[in-house]
Structure formats: structure tokens, C-alpha cells
Structure 1
Amino acid sequence: MQYKNTLIYSLVLVWIFLFSSNQINAQVKKEVQYDSSYFKIYPNKLTTRFYFSQKYTSFSVHQQSAANQLQYRPNTTLNMGVGATWHNFSLNLAYGFGFLNRTTERGKTKYLDLQGHFYPHKWVVDWYGQLYKGFYISPGNIPYTPANAYYVRPDIHVSLFGIAPYYILNASRFSYNAGMIQNEWQKKSAGSLLLGGELYYSVIKGDSAFVPSAIQQHYAQKGINEIRYAGFGPGIGYAYTLVAAKHLFVLGSLAAAVQLNALTETGKLVSQQTVSVKPTYSFRMAAGYNSDSWNCSMNWVGNKTPMFGINGTNRYDMQTGNYRFIIAKKINAGPHLQKQLIKLNRILP
């Protein structure tokens, strides 16, 4: 029941965001001019794509006196799909086919991953709504245990919700769309300062402690089987696209937010709360070939949130993101198709 209610809230929030971002984009596009010598837009073309993608979410428990960490990972699929973008509205459909994903002895994972990355003009917005249950630790990553054994935890589940909007100061010369959703073409190198903020809430819990009993004496987090985290704060970043010979590009961006964090750690014999100010990081990278017609590229969007517990020594990390390989084609939308797409634009806002 809890998962059902959370799903409903997630879908409502996604719809609200799509509603507002399309309204903002429609209003801003009428007023903002861009430098066509730096990038090119295609208002009458439909961008179609074939792609592979894989989303991930991991949770780590850090050892206090050493660099060792217990990294819990879910079983996620490599997906193959198709999609299309018209102006700033994208629709992608993908599925994790069996021939792309081999079975291993890592247990099973049930998950719903609604993370989205939106690029309305002058903005870049990451949205997270994720529910995962069933994690594992890879062989050799747990000290004092067999080197070839997976440590499987079907009882651990992670809920993560968040939003991270950033304003692009140099949107007249720098295009995220060109590198990330392939519907524009960055012809000259350019970059931009990013200003914004981030807000996250997550719950991680298991039926027993996160640290296996055989090695609990080596971790300050022994006995902890649930953490609740909330954090928000302002952020700043920078993005840059390097272009060679007009068609080859490398895009990179990094943003850091200084957040006020509240963390609650709970175990059978302990419950402790900590408030601190710590940074979070989000990044994206893309590289490939772009032109008036074709785009062949790879991109990676990721986020890392360090969480610190009692006395700043109990550290946990939450990492989430998405890898993609894309082949995209910009095609001319004829008068009839344009008419239908314009109707779609009117319906979406």
C-alpha cells in the first residue's frame, strides 16, 4: 500500500512539473533570442532516436578508519528503445530484453525508476522518484568473506525523491539540448555558469543491520537498519561544450549544492538524529557526432549525495544516474505532421 501511494504521488508530481515546464518554455521562447552562430535549432524537424540505456541507484556504507565501503547495488536492466523529440517534448519507450541481460546469482530487484532530466530553454532540471527493493554487494567487497560470494539483501529497500533545477546564464550561446536530447546542434564551443538549488528526501531500510554481523566491529554504523534523510540548499555549477570541426563534441558539467541536511539513524538499540551542512554533487557528460541530420553520441547523468550521521563519522552515500548510447535522426516534419504536433503542443500545456 505504501508503494502504491508513493507511486500516485510521484506521477502527480511528474505531471505538475511537465505542465509547468512546458508553460515556462512556451513563454520564454517568444522572448529569448539565441546566437545562431553558436548553435542551431530545428523548429520544423522531429528528432527520432534509437538507444540503449541503463539506470542505476546505489547505497554505500563507509568504514570509519579505512577507505573500504559496502556498496549495495540493485539488479537493473540494460534497456533498448526508441523515442522522439518535438521542440522540448520527448517520448521514449524502452524495454530490458532478455538477450541483453544475463542472469546472475545476485538475487532479485523490484523497482520503479521515474528519474527524469528536462531541458527547457534557459533551464536544466533533474527530477527523481525512485523505489527499489532488493540489493546485493559484489564478490570481494566484503572483508573477511569468500572472494567469489555475492552478499544478497532482498529486504533492503530505497525510496528517493528530489528535484534539482539550475538556471543557464549563457543560454543564448550554450545548448544542453544539443548534447543531451539531440534536437539541436552546437556548432562552436561555449559554456555557461549554472545557478540553482537541490532538494532531496530518501528512506533506506532493511529488516536487519546494513553492516553484516560478521564485520560489524569494524564499522561505526553497526546495528543501524534504517536511515531517513532530508536536505536542501543553493547550488552553483558550470557547463561547457568543446566542439571540433563543427561536428565532434564533448560536453561536461558539474554542479555542487551546499545543503542543510537532517539524518535520522535507527537500529534495534539506537535512534539518533544529526543536522549538518554538507555538499551534494550532480554531473553530466556527453560526447559524439552531431549535424543537421544525424547524431551519434553517449551521455551520462549522475548525482552523488553524501550523508553524515552522528558526530560526522557515520557516512553513507547515495548515487543515482543513467547511461545512454544514442543514434538519432532529425527528419523534416511535413505540413500534416506539423499540424498534428502543434495540436499536441496545445494539449500538453
Structure 2
Amino acid sequence: MLLAQNDLPSEHFHKQDTNYITSYTSELDLTTRFYNSVKFSRYVLRDSRYDERLKYASNENLILGVGVSYRRVTFNLGLNFPFVNSWDEEEKGKTKYLDAQIHYYLDKYVFDAWLSTYKGYHLTNPHETTLQSPDDDSYPIRQDVRNTNFSFNLMRILNSEKFSFRAAFAQDEWQKKSAGSFLIGAEYNMMLSSADSTLIPLNVKESDFFDGYQMKKSAIVNIGVSGGYGHTFVVAKHFYFSIVATMAVGGSYTSLESSDSTQEDINGLTLNVNYSTKVGLGYNSRTFQVGLATVQTFMTNHTPLDHAKITENPGNVRINLIKRFVLKKPIKMPILNKILF
């Protein structure tokens, strides 16, 4: 995974309040990291007439990786170790996935973009939504289910002089005093889901769940305006707790395809409401940082069906061990210098 963060020419650098933020993005600063993370994807089908929801989830994989940051450019390499992640495949199935992300965390702006595709899900709550026997503790496995998501968003940090987004989520700054900021922006999402047969189990409790539509494919494209708030609480200068929450409201174009040849394809314009949270906590200092960072997004779309909603919930939980160094001289990287200046 490559996280690239470009900057503006030095004469246009944004002024940060050094009483609140210390930056380690100069040509003599080098940030290194060891991390482990768990990425997941959840796919939820809901009928507003009933309390039950069909909750499909990927089989989470533990990723171990290393990374380095220099002058706002970050490169991380993570590896999936099969001997670590195969222990519950018989119970929950195997998930194959590609998850690529790009994050630009500048002083005033936050830009996130990602492309992910997950194949292989299991139904996490069969006893709530289907007639599966109470004595049967298995999870129905759907190796044929695939979800692909392409999304990007841009946020403006209104109090960027005192509030650092990078400190908790890029680990090359240090927030030394508590501060927060309102956020405004816009986002775009495209979500594609498919299966070999209907995603509605044949033994579902409510026969008219999802209006009885035997959906096997969905395509959703939405665009919306977003806003929210982020705050970092700092105790004794070094211990921090950061939370960022945003909501986006917009319009969607949704298309549904049924596995039943007697049911026509359905499409139309609908409403979407997306929620996103980022949480970071840990210890930060001049030379060392250890922290936990989580990212979750809930993309809920009303469908052209009267009572049906689809929610995509991708996320990531990561533990970072950070060590910073002061270099004796800048690293000679001509190509990087041209990108940054």
C-alpha cells in the first residue's frame, strides 16, 4: 500500500501554531513504523418493516507491515501470512481481497481515496434472520459473493492552525495541546455487489423480506456533500485521544438485478446517507509514538424497492509502533524533490 502526500512550495506553507503542533516533515526528519492491521468488509441488507438484518461479513485477515515517511511521503508494505489467518477458514470461509488506499493529509485538507474488492463472505447472524436450526451454530458461507468499492472524498479543516489530522493518522506530527476543528467537504462512492445466486437466503424468516426481490447484483453510484468535526484530547502533553466523525448526504443511482427470471431489473434515483469515523489513541513524543487507529465507513443507500436498504461497511483497525530519527543530511532523491517542490 502506497500513501503519497504531496505538499505546496515552501513559500506557500501553511502556518501552524507551534504551541499546539510540532511537525516532523522537514528534509532532516525520518519516520519509521512497524504496524499490524485488520481490514474488513461488511454488507448489510435491511427491510425497514422488520428488526432483522442480513449481515454478511468478510473473514478478517491480520496484516503485518513496515513503513517509512519522509517529507510528507509515506510508503507502507504489508504482508498477509497464511499460517496466521487460516485457522477459522473452515468455519467462516476464505476471503480474497485487494485493498489499495491513497491519503493526502495536508495542513488544511484531507483527501482519501480507495479501491477495494472482497470475495468470500459469511452470514454472521443466521439465527436472527433465517430458519436455521438453533442447534446449528454454523455460519452460512458464500464464497461467490463479491463487493467492490471505489470512493474518494475531500475535506477542508477549518481550524488547521491548531488541529493536526496527521498526528494520529499519518504519525509524522505531534499534537501537544487539545484542539478541534469543524470539517466540510464532498465525496463520491461507487459500490458493486454480485453473487451467483440470490443474496436473500431461501429460508429467510420473512417471506417478503426485501419486498420478495431475489437480488443477486447491485450497482450504486452516489455523490454528496459532507461535514463533521474532529477533536484531539491531549493529557500531559504526550497521551492523546483523537476522534473524527463526518456525515454525507446526497443522491444515488441504484440498479438491482434478480436471480429470478420473472423479476425485472430495477433502477432509479435514491437517497444516500454516509457516516464515517476515525479514532486514534496512544502516546506521542519527539522520537517515539505508539498508537491505535481505526477507520470505519457506513454507506447506507435506499433502493428503488419500497422498504429495502443496502449498507456497505468497510473498515480498518491498525496498531502502529513509530520511531523518528533526525538525519545528519537530507536524503538525495531527485525525483522526490521534483514532486515536492
Normalization by structure 1: what TM-score?
0.88
- State the match for 2:300 in structure 1: 306
| Superposed displacement of residue 157, structure 1 | 1.1
| Superposed displacement of residue 291, structure 1 | 0.6
- State the match for 2:274 in structure 1: 280
Q: 1:194 to 1:300 in 2, by over 3 A?
A: same
Which residue identity does 1:145 align to in structure 2? Answer: Q
Of 70, 85, 88, which residue of structure 1 is paired with 2:54? 70
1:264-308 CA-partner distances (Å, limit 9, x unpaired): 111131211231233211110000100111111101011110011
Question: What CA distance in whole angstroms lies between the structure 1 residues aligned with 2:340 and 2:316?
Answer: 26
| Superposed displacement of residue 74, structure 1 | 1.8
Question: What CA distance in whole angstroms lies between the structure 2 residues aligned with 1:274 and 1:333?
Answer: 57
Normalization by structure 2: what TM-score?
0.90
Of 148, 152, 156, which residue of structure 2 is paired with 1:159? 148
1:185-235 CA-partner distances (Å, limit 9, x unpaired): 000011111111110111111111111111161512531111110100111
1:75-95 CA-partner distances (Å, limit 9, x unpaired): 231011111111211111111
Which residue identity does 2:173 align to in structure 1? Answer: E
| Superposed displacement of residue 118, structure 1 | 3.0
| Superposed displacement of residue 144, structure 1 | 1.2
SS in 2 for 1:236: strand
Q: 1:35 to 1:343 in 2, by over 3 A?
A: same
Which residue identity does 2:44 align to in structure 1? Answer: S
CA contact (8 A) 1:193 1:239 kept: yes
SS in 2 for 1:170: coil
4+ aligned runs moved over 6 Å, structure 1: none
User: Aligned residue pairs: how many?
Assistant: 329
- State the match for 1:116 in structure 2: 102
- State the match for 1:6 in structure 2: none
Q: 1:171 to 1:340 in 2, by over 3 A?
A: same
SS in 1 for 2:9: helix
Q: 1:264 to 1:31 in 2, by over 3 A?
A: same
Q: 1:276 to 1:184 in 2, by over 3 A?
A: same
CA contact (8 A) 2:183 2:230 kept: yes
SS in 2 for 1:217: coil
- State the match for 2:210 in structure 1: 220
Question: What CA distance in whole angstroms lies between the structure 2 residues aligned with 1:29 and 1:326?
Answer: 32
Which residue identity does 1:305 align to in structure 2? Answer: M
Is 1:346 matched with 2:338?
A: yes
Is 1:34 matched with 2:26?
A: no
SS in 2 for 1:340: coil
Question: What CA distance in whole angstroms lies between the structure 2 residues aligned with 1:257 and 1:200?
Answer: 11
Q: 1:107 to 1:339 in 2, by over 3 A?
A: closer
CA RMSD of aligned residues (A): 2.2
| Superposed displacement of residue 311, structure 1 | 4.8
Question: What CA distance in whole angstroms lies between the structure 2 residues aligned with 1:54 and 1:36?
Answer: 34
Q: 1:167 to 1:324 in 2, by over 3 A?
A: same
Question: What CA distance in whole angstroms lies between the structure 2 residues aligned with 1:159 and 1:220?
Answer: 22
Q: Which aligned pairs between 1:144-183 and structure 2 lie closer than 5 A? A: 144-146=131-133, 147-183=136-172
Which residue identity does 1:45 align to in structure 2? Answer: D
Which residue identity does 1:238 align to in structure 2? Answer: Y
Is 1:91 matched with 2:75?
A: yes
Q: Which aligned pairs between 1:197-208 and structure 2 lie closer than 5 A? A: 197-208=186-197
- Calculate percent identity across the aligned residue pairs: 28
Question: What CA distance in whole angstroms lies between the structure 2 residues aligned with 1:343 and 1:129?
Answer: 26
Q: 1:235 to 1:301 in 2, by over 3 A?
A: same
- Bigger shift: residues 254-263 or 99-108: 99-108
CA contact (8 A) 1:108 1:134 kept: yes
Q: 1:270 to 1:126 in 2, by over 3 A?
A: same
Is 1:104 matched with 2:89?
A: yes
Q: 1:27 to 1:188 in 2, by over 3 A?
A: same
CA contact (8 A) 1:304 1:317 kept: yes
**Structure (1 or 2) with the greater helix fraction:** 1
CA contact (8 A) 2:223 2:252 kept: yes
Which residue identity does 1:92 align to in structure 2? Answer: N
Q: Which aligned pairs between 1:41-52 and structure 2 lie closer than 5 A? A: 41-42=23-24, 43=26, 44-52=28-36
